[in-house]
Structure 1
């Protein structure tokens, strides 16, 4: 089983959605975790309700600071926002870091969360699969 970290700034929306989606769709070869460079400490309620509606939500998902995962041996670290990409710390045990940015739906219409989730599935999952599962 390979480990991937999905990193964004607040760890409240995009990274949590990516974590849940990867674990739901690719759990046979990848275990995903998420974190924030400046974690907000809470999950965006619209993101959580969308993940619950899709059946991807698990109660273990929460917004966490980077210090809680910095020493985990990840096979891949993915930054999903430009700020996290610019401020991403060096992970001592990460094999590779890549950047795949998604626009933050926070504060926008609820439909934008579903669009972001779809983009994550279409754009990020194939990359994670080719990096870690093939």
Structure 2
């Protein structure tokens, strides 16, 4: 399955979610192709790189991109929005695309502890999603929110 994680600037939350999803897909042996994008292009924030490095996930090769910069942008089995603004701006996808939304708080401008909370919530949600996909089911928005423990 191809998964797109969409946020506003593709600078923090969507980048962290992408890394977590790839990590858990590898760990659990689930065939996922994961990309992230933003409704606008910015840069990957240093705080995101730092807190992900703390858990052994390297964002140094990541870069901010828009939907039109990801391969085959209209062919995703799942589009996951991780902020309310991206949900509102999310383009119409073909009927076969599933959409899920879990809004994570924006840690920008906050202490690293807030970044860690968002990182960990994204990690819990990502693990739950990959485990569910491995079982052959796609969890609801509410199940994903509960897994994140927001």
Smaller-chain TM-score bracket: 0.7 to 0.9
Match runs of 1:76-115 below 5 Å: 76-92=78-94, 95-115=97-117
Shift of 1:51: 1.4
Alpha-carbon separation, structure 2, partners of 1:106 and 1:94: 34
**2:4 match:** 5
Q: Aligned residue for 2:16?
A: 17
Shift of the 94–104 alpha-carbon distance from structure 1 to 2, 3 Å rule, reads farther
Q: Which residue of 1 aligns with 2:61?
A: 60
> Paired residue for 2:147?
none
**So what's the TM-score if we normalise by structure 1?**
0.87
Q: For the residues of structure 1 that align with 2:114 and 2:103, how far apart are their CA atoms?
A: 15
Q: Which residue of 2 aligns with 1:47?
A: 48
Paired with 1:85 and 1:125, the residues of 2 have a C-alpha distance of 21
Shift of 1:70: 7.0
Deviation of residue 91 (structure 1)?
A: 3.0
Q: Given the superposition, is the C-alpha separation of residues 98 and 114 from structure 1 closer, same or farther in structure 2, using an over 3 Å criterion? A: same
Which segments of 5 or more consecutive residues in structure 1 lack a partner in the other structure?
Answer: none
Question: For 1:97-125, what per-residue CA distance to the aligned partner results, in whole angstroms no more than 9, with x for missing partners?
Answer: 11111001011011111100111122343
Higher gyration radius (CA): 2
> The residue matched to 1:54 in structure 2 has which SS?
coil
RMSD (Å), alpha carbons: 1.9
